[in-house]
Amino acid sequence: MTVYIVGHLNPDTDAVVSAIVLEDLEKKLDKEYKATIASPINRETEYVLKRFGFEVPPMIPAEEGKKVILVDHNEPTQISPSVKPEEIQAIYDHHNLGGLTTPQPLTMMFKPLGSTVSLLAELYKEKGLEISKEIGSLIIAGIIADTVNFTSPITTEEDKKIAADLNKIAGLDADELAMEMFKAKSDISGMDMMEIVGKDYKIYSSMKRPVSIGTWETVLPESVLSHKEEIFEALKKKKAADKVDLIFFTIVDVLKGEAHMFVAGPEEEEVIKKAYNNPEIKDGIAYLPGVISRKKQMVPPIEGAL
């Protein structure tokens, strides 16, 4: 029976490549595993898969009673609606635990590393398995994506060592790859602001109040900041549609290492002021120097300020 591997909704590169890498690893152990996605991928991931010769994984099927492995997430609101808690066999993740309960026992591997693929790279080593050049390249891309080319505060020494070791086989120029990935991610042609707000967007159901935090990592912040009014409109719609109390959306300049956070309403303003110690707010946008990581620099301070 096929076991489906799937990352979170609104997948990022780490979520998608983790599924592909884990499929490769399990197949080396003669197991029937299939990498899938929970919703359409972003342009950075498209670029990475194409560059290293991988197909976009199919959507996870809705069939009942299937077996599923979650990668790169565990919070119920970030899991595909096609996955039922009783179908989950294992979780490989690098996030905090977010309130999932299951009727059955399961395998779990969690480590506070920069990416989920870092953890999978270590699993190859533990099991004494070889990593191919293609898979090694994918792992490096996943680490670069989640750690913003090793600049995010979530980056660990282990991530750097894993990438450096794999690069002996992959032979990549990491900075060149990172720049191409960031450029692909910054391409907004044909996208409206509703899509941009929702592309890298997570709902947090285990906080004191239901909150959502979207980010847009870019090398061209102006290309999005110049559509301010449409973004505020999109946030209003999304907040109502997702039934969250508070919505946050941040444009992250990955080159400067700073963020602009939209203040969607008076309650959000209160939280942002408390979370970031009265930051400069101009025309409804808070300026947050040094902030790039949602996991480390948005989720904890926002949760603490609720």
Query: What residues make contact with Mn ion under the rule CB under 5 A?
Result: 14, 72, 115-116, 146
Query: For residues 144 and 288, which CB has a smaller minimum distance to Mn ion in the complex?
Result: 144
Give the angle 158-40-212 at the CA atoms, nearest 5°.
Answer: 70
The amino acid present at 270, given as its one-letter code, is: E
Residue with the CB atom nearest Mn ion in the bound state:
14
Contact 18, 117 (CB under 8 A): yes
**Shortest spacing between CB 14 and Mn ion, in angstroms:** 3
**Shortest spacing between CB 225 and Mn ion, in angstroms:** 26
Residue 85 falls in which region: left (phi positive, over 0), alpha (psi -120 to 50) or beta: alpha
How many Cβ atoms are within 10 Å of 176's Cβ, its own excluded? 9
**Shortest spacing between CB 115 and Mn ion, in angstroms:** 5
Query: For residues 16 and 244, which CB has a smaller minimum distance to Mn ion in the complex?
Result: 16
**Shortest spacing between CB 266 and Mn ion, in angstroms:** 32
List 202's β-bridge partners, or say none.
213
Query: For residues 72 and 253, which CB has a smaller minimum distance to Mn ion in the complex?
Result: 72
**Shortest spacing between CB 61 and Mn ion, in angstroms:** 23
Query: For residues 22 and 286, which CB has a smaller minimum distance to Mn ion in the complex?
Result: 22
What would the DSSP string read from start to end of 225-281?
A: HTTHHHHHHHHHHHHHHTT-SEEEEEEEETTTTEEEEEE-SHHHHHHHHHHTTS-EE
Q: Which two tokens stand for residue 288?
A: 């947050």
Query: For residues 72 and 268, which CB has a smaller minimum distance to Mn ion in the complex?
Result: 72
Query: For residues 116 and 149, which CB has a smaller minimum distance to Mn ion in the complex?
Result: 116
**Shortest spacing between CB 95 and Mn ion, in angstroms:** 7
Query: For residues 145 and 291, which CB has a smaller minimum distance to Mn ion in the complex?
Result: 145
Q: Which two tokens stand for residue 118?
A: 């870092």
Q: Which two tokens stand for residue 132?
A: 């191919």
Q: Which two tokens stand for residue 272?
A: 């942002």
**Shortest spacing between CB 267 and Mn ion, in angstroms:** 29
Long-range pairs, 226-232, Cβ under 8 A, ≥24: 227/193, 228/283, 228/284, 228/285, 230/192, 230/193, 231/193, 231/196, 231/197, 231/262, 232/262, 232/264, 232/284
- Residues 227-243 as b or e (16 or more Cβ within 10 Å = b): beeebbebbeebbeeee
**Shortest spacing between CB 94 and Mn ion, in angstroms:** 6
| Cα–Cα dist 298/291, whole Å | 8
Q: Which two tokens stand for residue 152?
A: 């995010």
Query: For residues 42 and 116, which CB has a smaller minimum distance to Mn ion in the complex?
Result: 116
